[in-house]
Amino acid sequence: MVRTFAAAGTGVQEMIRVWFIVALLAGSGLVFAAVPVTGRVQAMQFSRSPIEDVAAISYQHELKRLSALGELDTDKQTLSRVRNICSRLIAQAILLKPEAAQWPWEVHITSDSQVAAYSMAGGKLMVGTHFIDSYNLNDNELAVAIAHEIGHVIAEHVREQVSLAASFESKFPNRTIHVVDVINSMESDIAVFFRLQPLSRLQEMEADDIGIELTARAGIYPRAVVSFYAKIARSDGGQSILDTHGPSTQRVSFVKSMADYAKPIYTASHTTNVPAYVFVAHSH
Ligand SMILES: [Zn+2]
C-alpha cells in the first residue's frame, strides 16, 4: 500500500493550507523518469519536493496523533527489529536509486490495528505491530512487506499518481493547474479514484518486483517472498472493489516466478559486503 497524501485524521482543509504553502505551478512541461529495476518510463508533471513536503507534514501529523493515543513506538524491541531490517533494505534501495541517499528516510511502528504497513513519498515508513503479530511474520517475511513499501518509495509512485491525476483536469487556455486542485480531486472525486486504478494496480505489481530485487540483494532468502504472500493470500479470501493490490492468489503465482528470478541475485549477495543505511535523527 502506498499512502498518497493525507494520513488518517488529517483534515482536507489543513492539507489544502499545506498545499498552498508548498504549491508548485504546473505547466512547465513533463519530466520523464525511469523506474529502478523495471525501467518503466514515467511522466512526471510535478517536481519531487512539493510531494515530499506534503508527505513529511502528513507523516508528522500522524506521528503526533499516534503518540497522543499511546500507539507509537511503544514496543522498543520490535522497533529496533523493524529498523534493522529497513536499514539493510534502504541501503540496497540507495544503490538502485542514488539520489535516495538524500531523502528523509524515517521508520516508526504503531500498535494501531488498522495499520499493516505503508509508505509515503521521500521514505516515510510505518509498520503495524498487530500486522506482524497476526501473521506471525519472521524477519525475512517482514523484510518482504517492508521492501514492497520501499519499492513504492524509490519508484516515486505518489509523484506519478499526482502527475497522472493532473492530466485529468480540464484544460483551458491560460488556465494553470495547481497541485492543490489535483490533490482535492484525488481526495474527493470517486471518478478520479477509478481512473487512477489501472496505474495503481501496475504500481502494486511493480512494488512487488522492486521489493523482491531489494530483498535478494540484501541477502534475504527469496523463499520468504512466497511464504509471506501465501500467508496474506490465505487470510485474504476475496477482493474488495477498493483493493488496489489485486487478488492475492494471482500475486502468489507472480511472486513464485519472481522468487526464481531472485535466486541468483540472492546467491550473489553472499559474495558482496551488504551495507546498512544509518538513519538520521529527526526531531519531532
Ligand atoms: Zn503497495
| Domain ranges, ordered by start, for the chain | 12-219
- pLDDT per residue as tens digits for the range 152-208: 999 999 999 999 998 887 766 666 777 777 877 888 999 999 999 999 999 998 998
Does residue 94 surpass a pLDDT of 50?
Answer: yes
Q: What is the mean pLDDT of residues 104-129?
A: 96
**pLDDT score, position 168:** 86
Compute the distance from residue 171 Cα to the ligand 1 centre, in Å.
31
Compute the distance from residue 245 Cα to the ligand 1 centre, in Å.
6
Compute the distance from residue 153 Cα to the ligand 1 centre, in Å.
10
**pLDDT score, position 139:** 96
**pLDDT score, position 157:** 96
**pLDDT score, position 113:** 94
**pLDDT score, position 231:** 85
CB count within 10 Å of CB 221 equals: 15
Task: Output the average pLDDT for the chain.
Answer: 83
- pLDDT per residue as tens digits for the range 5-35: 544 434 444 444 444 434 444 445 678 999 9
Which residues touch 78 (CB under 8 Å, ≥6 apart)?
109, 129, 132
Compute the distance from residue 207 Cα to the ligand 1 centre, in Å.
6
Compute the distance from residue 23 Cα to the ligand 1 centre, in Å.
26
Does residue 244 surpass a pLDDT of 80?
Answer: no
Does residue 209 surpass a pLDDT of 50?
Answer: yes
Helices assigned H by DSSP within 71-218: 76-96, 129-134, 139-154, 157-168, 179-188, 190-217
Q: What is the mean pLDDT of residues 232-246?
A: 54
> For strand 117-120 and strand 31-34, is the pairing parallel, antiparallel, or unpaired?
unpaired
Q: What is the mean pLDDT of residues 268-283?
A: 79
Compute the distance from residue 200 Cα to the ligand 1 centre, in Å.
9
Compute the distance from residue 152 Cα to the ligand 1 centre, in Å.
7
Write the single-letter amino acid at 175.
R
Instruction: Give the Cα separation of 31 and 259 in Å (integer).
Output: 33
